[in-house]
Homo-oligomer: A and B are copies of this chain.
Amino acid sequence: MQTLGLKLGERAYPIHIGAGALDQPELYAPHVRGRQAAVVTNPAVAAHYYARLQAVLEAADARVTRILIEDGEQAKAWATLDHVIDALLEARCGRDSVVVALGGGVVGDLAGFAAAIYQRGVSFIQVPTTLLAQVDSSVGGKTAINHARGKNMVGAFHQPLAVIADVATLDTLPERELRAGLAEVIKHGFILDPEFVAWLEENIERLLARDRAALEHAVHRSCELKAQVVAADERESGLRAILNFGHTFGHAIEAGVGYGEWLHGEAVAAGMVMAAELSARAGTLRRDDAGRVKALIRRAGLPVSGPALAIDRYLELMQVDKKAAAGKIRFVLLDGIGRATLRGDLKPDWVRDSIAAAAQ
């Protein structure tokens, strides 16, 4: 097992990565000993891991309550949030309780947001069980629910006390979700680390075959890269925005087809192809490097083109994207492989053409 630190002053926390981490009481005990721990999860994940998590939390001297939410992106909604708040109150959870998010990105985002606002904020621990959550959403403190007018429009920055990422839980992950998680791994390489991109180009088949050592390396390096960015810019006032590479297009795809139709990672994958295309048109990325982006995404079994939406619909959906300052859209472009830049001065035609080039 390896442990990374997210350096955030008084909000610093450890990220534990390794097979079997889920069952180690000493990882939980400093945070839950003598407290009430409310585990938020969904039925599919609970069937695999709840009993083990309950046992390890009890071994760490916590009183454990289970709160089930429905599966899928549609759970990131007011109604689910109210359900979790209600269950916390019914279980008489006080301000010293700890919410434990057991599951993927939806569970983490929803449970983390519930923890952020329950009684004006209680602690929480992330126990991510999908690749997407392990490499991305569980790290950095972003929590949110969706709104009909846009994804993640309501939320909070709320850092966990710890992240416990057991790569052995990926054994039970559906194939499609494994691939979707790889989209964020690939993203971290393209925006931050050319050597990691080269490693991914060599090892993508090992990752798809769930080689445990390869997965552990990919999760570890992804978390390390993301942790550096978050430590430098916790609340996304600058640098952190580069983590949204592919996401402005990706969020439009998710909203356009209806949340949950495309997995987040699938939408980001097609969005990265569009963003790489836009980078090439803006002159910051060589054509052959844009080709490397597309090729790696294709080899990961991810979509390299968007759904059949009108281009005007894409643009309309992107106007309300929350990265848009005062109605002006800014895009994360690649400035070569392994380097990203934020640009707000792009010609509208380039944006249209990039969508068209990558649309079905």
Contact = CB atoms under 8 A, between A and B. Distances in A.
Interface of A: 35-36, 78, 82, 85-86, 89-90, 92, 94-96, 113, 116-121, 142-144, 147, 149-150, 152-157, 235, 319-320, 322-327
Contacts of A35: 326
A94 B324 contact: yes
Given A89-B147, A149-B86, A156-B156, A325 B96 contact: yes
A191 B154 CA distance: 37
19 contacts: A35-B326, A36-B326, A78-B78, A92-B320, A92-B327, A94-B324, A94-B327, A117-B117, A119-B153, A119-B322, A120-B142, A120-B143, A120-B144, A120-B155, A120-B156, A120-B157, A121-B156, A121-B157, A121-B235
Contacts of A116: 156
A227 to B, nearest CB: 19
Secondary structure of the A side of the interface?
Answer: mixed
A95 B325 contact: yes
Contacts of A157: 120-121
Contacts of A113: 117
User: Which 5 interchain pairs have the tightest Cβ spacing?
Assistant: A89-B149, A119-B322, A120-B155, A94-B326, A94-B325
A147 B119 CA distance: 10
A248 B351 CA distance: 57
Contacts of A320: 89, 92
Nearest to A114: B154
Given A89-B147, A95-B322, A96-B326, 19 more contacts: A35-B326, A78-B78, A78-B82, A85-B147, A85-B154, A89-B153, A89-B320, A90-B149, A94-B325, A94-B327, A95-B323, A95-B325, A117-B117, A119-B154, A120-B143, A120-B155, A120-B156, A120-B157, A156-B156
A89 B155 contact: no
Contacts of A153: 85, 89, 118-119
Nearest to A34: B326
Contacts of A326: 35-36, 94, 96
A92 B319 contact: yes
A155 B121 CA distance: 8
A114 to B, nearest CB: 9
A310 to B, nearest CB: 20
Contact of A117 (B86, B95, B96, B155): B155
